[in-house]
Structure 1
Amino acid sequence: MAMHKGSSGTNFLLLLLIFAVGGILGNLIGEFFGQYFPLLQISREVGFTSPVELDLNFIYLQFSLLIKLNLAGVIGLLLAIWLFRRL
Structure 2
Amino acid sequence: MRRGKSPWTLVFLIVVGLILGGFLGDLLAHFFKELAYQQIIGMNNPLTLDLNFIKFSFLLSVKINIGTVVGLILAIYAYYKM
* TM-score computed with the length of structure 2 as normaliser: 0.74
Residue identity (%) = 35
CA RMSD in angstroms comes to: 2.3
Q: What number of residue pairs does the alignment pair up?
A: 80
**Residue 43 of structure 1 aligns to which amino acid in structure 2?**
Q
* Structure 1, 19-28 or 54-63: larger mean CA deviation: 54-63
In structure 2, the residue matched to 1:20 is 15
Paired with 2:45 and 2:78, the residues of 1 have a C-alpha distance of 34
* CA shift digits 1:40-69 (9 cap, x unpaired): 111111112221223455643222211112
Q: What SS does the corresponding residue of 1:22 show, helix, strand or coil?
A: helix
Give 5+ residue unaligned stretches, structure 1.
none
The structure 1 segments of at least 4 consecutive aligned residues displaced by more than 4 Å after TM superposition are 56-59
TM-score normalised per structure 1: 0.71
